[in-house]
Amino acid sequence: MKTQMDNLATALSPEALEDRVATLQQKLSDSGHRTTPQRINILRALLTTETHPTAEEIWDRVRSVSPTTTLATVYKTLDTLKELGEVMELDTRDDSRHYDGLHPDPHPHAVCKRCGRIDDVDLDGLDTLQSQATKASGYRIEEQDVTFYGLCARCQQEE
């Protein structure tokens, strides 16, 4: 089913988008959660953006196709998806929680200190770094959060 949100920029092909939405619907259903039209619209809003949106940004997008969807429903859906390991929550210095539904596995990010842009960073050697941290600290490292802060290319050009 195509919606207005499908026309927005996405990092997924139309087929990949439908596959990801179907996978998330199935995971919600398998874990005992209903897959309501509001939840489907939230999934689409999360997956049809190349940014790492906040719940409020997702809500703004969803309201254009589902005006009765509440911000609380967006937060509950994101929390459920986070519990299922299907959404990564990013805690940045702007006091907002951002969400990554395209790449829910732990991975590094770069955050622009001026405009707030967040980008995924593909780095080799992160497993090696985690192994080194385990050896150096004696901890059993269970998760990691690597975030780099600086100026994005656009903000650098504006200097």
Signed CA dihedral, 96, 102, 107, 111: sign only: negative
Question: Which alpha helices (DSSP H) does 31-90 contain, by range?
Answer: 37-47, 55-63, 71-83
What does the block give as tokens for 107?
């991975």
Q: Which residue ranges are tagged as binding site?
A: 112, 115, 152, 155
Q: In sequence order, what are the residues at sequence separation of 6 or more whose Cβ sits closer than 8 angstroms to the Cβ of residue 58?
A: 42, 45, 46, 74, 78, 99
Q: Which residue ranges are tagged as binding site for Zn(2+)?
A: 112, 115, 152, 155
User: Taking Cα atoms as reference points, which of 107, 116, 127 lies closest to residue 155?
Assistant: 116
DSSP letter at 54 equals B
Q: In sequence order, what are the residues at sequence separation of 6 or more whose Cβ sits closer than 8 angstroms to the Cβ of residue 86?
A: 24, 27, 101, 104
